[in-house]
Amino acid sequence: MNNKEEIEDLIDSHEEDFILNVGPQHPSTHGVLHLKIKLHGETVTDVQLHMGYIHRSIEKMCEASSYRNFIYLTSRMDYLSAHMNNQACAMAVEKGMALEIPPRAKIIRVLMSELTRIASHTLWWSSAGLDLGAVTPFFVGFRDREDILDIFEETCGARLTMNYNVPGGVMYDIHPNFQRRVKEFMKKFNKRHHEYDELLTGNVIFQGRMKGVGYLSPEDAVSNGCSGPVARGSGVSCDVRKWLPYDGYENVQFDEILETKGDCFARYQVRMKEMLQSAKIIEQLIDNIPEGDFQAKTKNVIKLPKGEFYSRVETARGELGVYIISDGSMNPYRIKFRSPNFCNLSALKHMTIGGKIGDLVAIMASLDLIIPDIDR
């Protein structure tokens, strides 16, 4: 690997500019992202981002919807943590109404969030293996994800875009089979997580591809606004569930996983251990769901008072912020979604320059980007 001065010389000189388009249709960018990389042999000297291939102007559409309806658009932003997106929007509206939701709704929301987190990390693990060339993890990971999605389908009616959270609580009560199925799944999951480690984590080739690659220092992580496993892999403590607990997370025992190395393998380890922490949270709560209402009483047409409301939620990829500006009418005046993947992406250029193309793929796998969340 070239040293820093040589890389900077290469970037400044324009000789032998070999420009390669990675994307927008590409098997390993997780969505439609267009990267123009300048190569010198196999070394990357520059990365230019071109986004917007899946820009659906969700923020503008929200201005034309009511406060109940705009939540359904947000499932499609980061579709792997759809439940948490909806939760953030519902929380923002509830802040505006100054509404307290019943404890049963809170616990159900937390259970669903943690199941979504496990499902999202399982899919991430499968595609990380696939990006690096190991095809088998894809099938192994999806086998577990199918169990979770079946549980969702029974209660919420949908597998991917659940639309289960509403301002005031959750839309329906949980299915009678829910507790039994989740407990069965938890028993299987703890054994299967061990399989994941055996298949990929301990593999020498995998570690050689991920260790020492894509270093992100803590200062750069904070300056680039990174959050979630990307920042926690560099040692930055930023879990919103711990820092600003919401919806019942203050009563649950779990650890915030921090790794200090800052390379791709550290981010990988953070996500693997987070899956186990989510399993721990679910085990604490599954037997203690309080009785009561699953939805607080709200008017049919919600009007928020004039003002601004910001809610923050920890999705599987980082901190999602929903910023609602209301002028007192039925429709929101302006909604801004602070998406975690947008800020994680701004760290990509810094991490990739100086590495090889193979490193670019490993870095994208460890950043776990969902492009519709970036483009909104």
Partner 1 sequence: MTNEELKNFITAHTHEVTFEESQFLNAFVPSEKIHSLAKYLRENSFAGFDYLFCLSGVDWKDHFMVVYHLTSRKFRHSIVLKVKIADRNNPTVDTVCDIWKVAELMEREVYDLFGVKFNNHPDLRRLFLDDTWGFPLRKDYKDDITIVSL
Partner 2 sequence: MKFIYDFSYLTTKIHNWLYLHCSNLWVTIWEMVIVGLCILLLFVVLGLTFVYMERKVAAFMQLRLGPNRVGPKGTLQALADTFKLLLKEGLTPSASDKFLFYVAPFIVIIVSMLALAPIPFAKGLQMYDLNIGVFYVSAVSSVSVIGILMVGWSSYNKYSLLGAMRSGAQIVSYELSAGLSLVAIVALAGSMSLNDIVESQRTGWWIFKGHIPAIIAFIIFIIAGTAELNRAPFDMAEAEQELTGGFHTEITGMRFAMFFLAEYVNMFIVCAIGATLFLGGWMPFHVGHLEGFNHIMDFIPPFVWFIGKTFFLVWVIMWFRWTFPRLRIDQLLTLEWKYLMPISLMNMLLVALIVIMKWHF
Subset of residues 172 to 231 that bind partner 2, contact rule: CB under 8 A: 199-200, 203, 205-206, 208-209
Query: Judged by CB under 8 A, which stretch of 51-59, 97-105, 114-122, 283-291 contacts partner 1?
Result: 51-59
Query: Judged by CB under 8 A, which stretch of 107-115, 185-193, 264-272, 339-347 contacts partner 1?
Result: 339-347
- The DSSP element (H or E) to which 11 belongs, if any, is helix 4-12
Residue with tokens 């949270």: 281
Sign of CA dihedral 124, 126, 130, 132: positive
Q: For 198, which DSSP code?
A: I
Least separation, in Å, of the C-beta of 208 and partner 2? 6
Number of residues that bind partner 1 (CB under 8 A): 36
The pairing of strands 169-170 and 165-166 is antiparallel
Query: What phi, psi does 293 have (nearest 5°)?
Result: -75, 150
Contact of residue 133 among partner 1, partner 2, none (CB under 5-8 Å per partner type):
partner 2
DSSP per-residue codes, 256-301:
PP--SS-SHHHHHHHHHHHHHHHHHHHHHHTT-PPPS-SB----SS
Q: Residue from 136, 217, 237, 329 that binds partner 2 (CB under 8 A)?
A: 136
Asked if 52 touches partner 1 (CB under 8 A), the answer is: yes
Is residue 37 classed as helix, strand or coil in its secondary structure?
Answer: strand
Q: Residue from 309, 317, 355, 373 that binds partner 1 (CB under 8 A)?
A: 309
The contact mask relative to partner 2 for 8-27 (x = CB under 8 A, - = no) is: ----------x-x-----xx
Q: Residue from 1, 64, 160, 205 that binds partner 1 (CB under 8 A)?
A: 64
Q: How far is CA 318 from CA 59, 178, 194, 354, in A?
A: 20, 27, 25, 26
Subset of residues 194 to 233 that bind partner 1, contact rule: CB under 8 A: 220, 222-225, 227
- The DSSP element (H or E) to which 312 belongs, if any, is strand 307-314
The pairing of strands 334-338 and 319-326 is antiparallel
The pairing of strands 43-50 and 319-326 is unpaired
Name which of 25 and 288 has its Cβ closer to partner 1.
25
Least separation, in Å, of the C-beta of 140 and partner 2? 7
Q: Residue from 130, 320, 348, 370 that binds partner 2 (CB under 8 A)?
A: 130
Cβ contact 9:3 at 8 Å? no
Is residue 209 classed as helix, strand or coil in its secondary structure?
Answer: helix
- The DSSP element (H or E) to which 316 belongs, if any, is none
**Residues near partner 2, by CB under 8 A:** 18, 20, 26-28, 42, 129-136, 138-140, 143, 199-200, 203, 205-206, 208-209, 356-361
**Residues near partner 1, by CB under 8 A:** 51-52, 55, 57, 59-60, 64, 95, 220, 222-225, 227, 236-238, 243, 307-310, 319, 321, 323, 325, 333-334, 336, 338, 342-343, 345-346, 350, 375
